Amino acid sequence: MWSLAWPWALLALPLPFIARKLMSAAPSLQDAGLRVPSLSVFSSLSQRPDKEQLLHWRFWIAAVAWLLLAVAAARPERIGDELEVPVSGRNLMLAVDLSGSMDQKDFELGSRRVDRLTATKAVASDFISRREGDRIGLILFGERAYLQVPLTLDRETVKVLLMEAFIGLAGEKTAIGDAITLAVKRIHDQETDGSEQVLVLLTDGANTAGEIEPLKAAQLAQQVGLRIYTIGIGAEQIEVSSLIGGRRNINPSADLDEETLTGIAELTGGRYFRAKDTAGLQDIYRLVDELEPVDEPEAGFRPVKSYYYWPLAGAFALAAFLAVVSLLQNLAVRRLGGELADVG
């Protein structure tokens, strides 16, 4: 659909005619004359168009140029079809534990047993794919915390860099407090514009490294409005071979500090979840989707492309043509004047 952004600019169309009516005509030289011995120098003028005819076609070219200029000032534009634009004011950070204990193979993916990080990658990737419209960032932490991906709408990049992470990349220990502090810093540095701030932190242990205690970091998160959902990952019981023969059951999540993770979540207005297997981890991420829903697309946006430059270019081209014609005529008159001077 075509329209004019500033249709009132077309009111300028009659301005040249109004100005012509209001301005007085130039005085004509009735008594001017030139005495020459011969009319031969005027033979070249016999082939020139009549003055009235010349003014006639120049008038219409100038009128078209002025029309194009007025249309350009009105800014013609093409309005596209209505689009649905997902609008979300949420900044969502993911913090994933890469400590050595994440190598424990107590999860199943399909029909095979996998380590905790592999299961986390599979489930978290699906979660990221569903967060259309959210700005997502990725923090990887072990003995230290690193910002792997700053907040971005590019979900594919976040998924790729998550899949490339490996156990021990950030050290063998677990710095939960530093991971939360890094998320707080990134949120504080970000232009939030009143956006909701969420951190989903996944770990399988307790805070054994770092400079800031987890609960102290949670207090900082509370001050900047960062809501934290903590996920404790790891099976409660697996069967292993005994050194004296036979098999016995052990708890591979004995080091998981659920009390601290619960305190972090409650202090910041979030929730603590316990993921004992892959299905439970998937349910947790789906529940986070429900607690932090993606905003529904808002209809009503129509892309607009302006085309004012086409009539503007046409007006300039016609004006340049008239200027060239006028220049050539002036040169012809000067040459004729020179010939008359030689004859005289």
71 belongs to a structural domain: no
Domain that holds residue 289: 85-299
Tokens for 74, please give them: 């009105």
| Residue 269 · residue 226 · CB < 8 Å | no
What is the greatest pairwise CA distance in the chain?
137
Report the run of H or E that residue 250 belongs to, with start and end. strand 247-250
189 belongs to a structural domain: yes
pLDDT of residue 82: 65
pLDDT of residue 90: 80
pLDDT of residue 182: 95
244 belongs to a structural domain: yes
pLDDT of residue 36: 54
Angle made by CA atoms 340, 341, 344, in degrees to the nearest 5:
85
65 belongs to a structural domain: no
Nearest to 200 by CA among 274, 119, 134, 271: 271
In this structure, the strands spanning 107-109 and 112-114 are antiparallel
Tokens for 203, please give them: 């770990």
Decide: helix, strand or coil at residue 245. Answer: coil
Decide: helix, strand or coil at residue 310. Answer: helix
Report the CATH number that the domain containing residue 143 is assigned in CATH. Answer: 3.40.50.410
243 belongs to a structural domain: yes
State the 10-residue block means of pLDDT for the chain, 344 residues long. Answer: 84 83 62 53 51 66 89 86 61 93 88 90 92 90 94 93 92 93 86 76 92 94 93 82 65 87 95 92 90 66 81 90 85 69 57
247 belongs to a structural domain: yes
pLDDT of residue 309: 87
pLDDT of residue 49: 52
Give residue 80's identity as a one-letter amino acid code.
G
Q: Count up the domains in the chain and report the number.
A: 1
Q: Which residues pair with 93 in a beta bridge?
A: 137, 199
- What is the pTM (predicted TM-score) of this model? 0.61
Report the run of H or E that residue 292 belongs to, with start and end. none
Cβ-proximal residues to 271 (8 Å cutoff; 6+ apart), any chain: 229, 230, 265, 291
229 belongs to a structural domain: yes
Report the run of H or E that residue 126 belongs to, with start and end. helix 116-130
180 vs 141: CA distance, rounded Å:
10
Cβ-proximal residues to 338 (8 Å cutoff; 6+ apart), any chain: none
138 vs 336: CA distance, rounded Å:
81
Question: What is the SS3 string spanning 49-95?
Answer: CCHHHHHHHHHHHHHHHHHHHHHHHCCEEEECCCEEEECCCEEEEEE
Sign of the four-CA dihedral 124, 125, 129, 134? positive
281 vs 231: CA distance, rounded Å:
8
196 vs 89: CA distance, rounded Å:
6
129 belongs to a structural domain: yes
Gap between the terminal Cα atoms of the chain: 67
Angle between helices 258-268 and 176-189 (to 10 degrees): 20
